[in-house]
Amino acid sequence: MRFVEAAGVRMSAIGLGTWQFGSREWGYGKEYADHEAAAIVRRALELGVNVIDTAEVYALGRSERIVAAAIEDVGRDEVFLATKVFPLFAFGAVMAARARASLRRLGVDAADLYQIHFPNPAIPFGLQAAGLARVLDDGLAHHVGVSNYSLAGWRKVEDVLGRPVLSNQVQFSMVRRRPAEVMVPYAASSDRVVIAYSPLAQGFLSARYGPDNLPGGGVRRSNSLFSKDNLTRAADLYDALRDVASSHDAEPAQVALAWLIHHPHVVAIPGASSVEQVEFNAAAADIVLGDDEFAHLTKVAEEFTPASRGPLGRLVRT
């Protein structure tokens, strides 16, 4: 396993996302929620993954409970436990109360990272920072972070808080490359971390779906990347992923993750539908792309121009 070290923490470059655990949006079913999910967490930890990311909103707390059961017998210092507060009425003492509720579900005294799930423009930065300060001062989390913030927003929270805001969790993958422009350089030069969510673009970058093989329902039905048009357009990108994968004796999904963690100070948190996937994902940390491979993958990714959905839900061709 490779690690990202920043601000005194050591986070595995590949973590584990747990939105899938028990959530209807993914629709993996009862057997998955009752058994497979915990097995995924335990296997991830065995393989050196320490970052486990959850949120109070995932399956309305069930994801946190599943994680709690899975880590019950694991040394607390083997897990870097990250959760998030849904920013509705979440400021000051309310944020601390919500953090306490998360910790009860997680079965721990403190989270390693407590993140604001997304910016709520109705809550001024001062109140957001006051909530995070309370969480830190009450010992409910060792570090705080934000998610879905712009770089300016991230820095503003840190300025107002007057203490480090360790990380910003943002959508970042080969098909959503914007964080590479200024967010990642900032993290690398400021001892901060970019946590990449949807690092496989919800499985799109596994190269195993196609116009005649669409993923099952749930969240991906509303993701325009999985339109037949976009899956057809992705042919060259998929070929490039397969080519690089074959020279590393790896899978396309692993190469997509290796591309992400080629960037400094980036931790990727793929979700997994099986123990086998988490094994592949953890092993991706050991794939080191050559600079030529990285440049080639970036170029092919830039050439992929997906159609997006317009206001009426129709695909807009670009």
Ligand X SMILES: NC(=O)c1ccc[n+]([C@@H]2O[C@H](COP(=O)([O-])OP(=O)(O)OC[C@H]3O[C@@H](n4cnc5c(N)ncnc54)[C@H](OP(=O)(O)O)[C@@H]3O)[C@@H](O)[C@H]2O)c1
Residues marked active site are found at 58
Reference 274, options 286, 282, 284; nearest CA is: 282
φ, ψ of residue 148 in degrees (nearest 5) = 60, 25
145 is an interface residue for ligand X by CB under 6 A? no
DSSP annotation of 290 reads -
With tokens 């074959």, the residue in question is: 246
Q: Answer for the pair 244, 293: CB distance below 8 angstroms, yes or no.
A: yes
Among 12, 83, 102, 169, indicate the residue that binds ligand X (CB under 6 A). 169
17 is an interface residue for ligand X by CB under 6 A? yes
Nearer residue to ligand X within complex by CB, 287 or 314? 287
Q: Answer for the pair 175, 205: CB distance below 8 angstroms, yes or no.
A: yes
CB of 136 to ligand X, least distance (A): 20
50 is an interface residue for ligand X by CB under 6 A? no
Nearer residue to ligand X within complex by CB, 69 or 93? 69
**What's the CA gap between 251 and 242, in Å, rounded?**
7
Nearer residue to ligand X within complex by CB, 131 or 215? 215
Nearer residue to ligand X within complex by CB, 130 or 225? 225
CB of 131 to ligand X, least distance (A): 17
With tokens 């006051």, the residue in question is: 130
Nearer residue to ligand X within complex by CB, 195 or 312? 195
Site string for ligand X, 254-293 (x = CB under 6 A): ---------------xxxxx---x--xx------------
Q: 160 vs 122, 132, 133, CA distance in Å?
A: 16, 10, 10
Site string for ligand X, 209-228 (x = CB under 6 A): ------x-------------
Site string for ligand X, 82-101 (x = CB under 6 A): --------------------
CB of 120 to ligand X, least distance (A): 13
φ, ψ of residue 158 in degrees (nearest 5) = -65, -45
6 is an interface residue for ligand X by CB under 6 A? no
Nearer residue to ligand X within complex by CB, 19 or 259? 19
Q: State both tokens at 98.
A: 């919500």
- What totals of helices (H) and strands (E) does the chain contain, helices first? 12, 12
Reference 106, options 157, 35, 58, 146; nearest CA is: 58
**What's the CA gap between 318 and 223, in Å, rounded?**
17
Among 80, 197, 226, 238, indicate the residue that binds ligand X (CB under 6 A). 197
Query: Side chain identity at 184, as an amino acid letter?
Result: V
Residues that bind ligand X (CB under 6 A): 17-20, 53, 117-118, 147-148, 169, 197-203, 206, 208, 215, 251, 253, 269-273, 277, 280-281
